[in-house]
Amino acid sequence: MKVLITGVAGFIGSHLAEKLLSENYAVIGIDKYLDNYPRRFKEKNLARVLNHSKFEFFENDLAGLNLRELVKDVSYVFHLAAQPGVRSSWGDEFIHYTQNNIMATQLVLEACKESAVKKIVYASSSSVYGDTDDLPMREEGGTRPVSPYGVSKLAAEHLCYLYWKAYGAPTVSLRFFTVYGPRQRPDMFFHIFMDRLRKGEEIPLYDDGEQTRDFTYCADIVDGLLGAAFYPGAGEVFNLGGGTESSLLNVIRIVEGLSGRKAKLKPFERQKGDVRHTRARLDSAKDKLGYRPKISLEEGLAQEWRWIQTLED
Ligand code: NAD
Ligand code: UGA
């Protein structure tokens, strides 16, 4: 059976590709090596799968491929390609978010709308909820993003819904909550924090460090993606959180404990686009997708810390 993964050289896409290849799927991967972070990280992400006999890689922009042709004999599409940073989505940068998050999603949906694809799983984001006191965040609750990135992810989610409504394209959107673990993007907090901790450098801490996230380990996200692919329904949205809500300061304390190092924190003001708290209601993903996050925050942080120490300077 064949699957297509967009954004395959990225943090989450590369973990998903490894999992699917290990389960004997043939994987078509697309990634244009967007410059949101250095190409060397993405090449390394793909190193384990690139020469796999069942892996076919297209180093292309989604806009530069005949996607209709590519999805012809594909059973599942995992659409992860995106411009993913929250705080960098303002101003002149927004055009990259409209192109890579909204326009690119529409191309994927157009290609799939009259195909035999059984499921199109779209990687949405907790950022669609915005800054709310209505916690935990519920799929049926309000969405009012506070970053241009969140707006673009929500727009693409709406596209997934309307291609299901209009064409019966079997889409499912998954709202990931701050994902971490080995290969985490170098613009994300745990990566920056741990890399600087290992080098003895100052760590930029935005806001007061008491902001919280429902941090989700990458392998749990991969399980959720598979659960969504095999789910018989469509046209729905599910939260995928880790069930491990924590403040940044708590994370810093845990990593200080397991590394035996002391973090040198440099405070900065709260950044535009940041939400104060996220917490996922997981009942729906548990009931319908069989989703069960398994990795505790302590265990996941230990895995990421181990990986960070393998990086070159
Ligand atoms: P990532 O940047 O590591 O991976 C995304 C990949 O998509 C990149 O390698 C990039 O080169 C590729 N890409 C972007 N636009 C493309 C295009 N037009 N054509 C071809 N390739 C393109 O990001 P990630 O953290 O792995 O995130 C994967 C997905 O999950 C994204 O859609 C992101 O919005 C979503 N998400 C991530 C998180 C998180 O915490 N990492 C949380 C919520 C949602
Ligand atoms: C993350 C991902 O980066 C997004 O792609 C994703 O869509 C989003 O989760 C989501 O859940 O939807 P974010 O929660 O902002 O976004 O994750 P980080 O970039 O790791 O930031 C976490 C917190 O650390 C934020 O409050 C941020 O302000 C803070 N931070 C970040 C710092 O204090 N210092 C830094 O150097 C970087």
Phi, psi of 162 (to 5 degrees): -75, -25
pLDDT above 90 as % of the chain: 99
Q: Is 291 a catalytic residue?
A: no
| Mean pLDDT score of the chain | 98
For helices 11-22 and 218-230, the axis angle rounded to 10 degrees is: 60
Residue 190: helix, strand or coil by DSSP?
A: helix
Confidence of residue 93 (pLDDT cuts 50, 70, 90): very high
Check whether 71 has a pLDDT greater than 90.
Answer: yes
Average pLDDT over residues 15-23: 98
Catalytic: which of 37, 122, 129, 149?
149
The ligand 2 atom at the shortest distance from the C-alpha of residue 203 is 36
Whether the CB-CB separation of 139 and 116 falls below 8 Å is answered with no
Q: How far is the CA of 82 from the centre of ligand 1 (A)?
A: 4
Residues 178-188: tens digit of each pLDDT: 999 999 999 99
Candidate from 189, 194, 252 with most ligand 2 atoms within 8 A of CB, to mutate: 189
Check whether 106 has a pLDDT greater than 90.
Answer: yes
Residues 110-140: tens digit of each pLDDT: 999 999 999 999 999 999 999 999 999 999 9
β-bridge mates for residue 6, sequence order: 30, 79
Q: How far is the CA of 250 from the centre of ligand 2 (A)?
A: 15
Residues 206-233: tens digit of each pLDDT: 999 999 999 999 999 999 999 999 999 9
Average pLDDT over residues 272-299: 98
Alpha carbon separation from 59 to 21, 69, 149, 151, 161 (Å, rounded)? 19, 16, 24, 27, 28
The ligand 2 atom at the shortest distance from the C-alpha of residue 187 is 19
Task: Please give the Cα distance from 195 to 199 (Å, whole number).
Answer: 6
- 131-147 b/e (C-beta count within 10 Å ≥ 16 → b): ebeebbbebeeebebbb
Alpha carbon separation from 215 to 27, 84, 191, 220, 240 (Å, rounded)? 28, 16, 13, 11, 10
Q: Domains of the chain, with CATH numbers?
A: 2-179+218-243+280-293 (3.40.50.720)
Residues 22-68: tens digit of each pLDDT: 999 999 999 999 999 999 999 999 999 999 999 999 999 999 999 99
pLDDT at residue 244, rounded to an integer: 81
Average pLDDT over residues 289-298: 98
Check whether 282 has a pLDDT greater than 90.
Answer: yes
Is the preceding omega at residue 84 within 30 degrees of 0, hence cis? no
Q: How far is the CA of 216 from the centre of ligand 1 (A)?
A: 16
pLDDT at residue 313, rounded to an integer: 79
Average pLDDT over residues 239-255: 96
Average pLDDT over residues 132-160: 97
Output the pTM of the full model.
0.99
Whether the CB-CB separation of 75 and 19 falls below 8 Å is answered with no
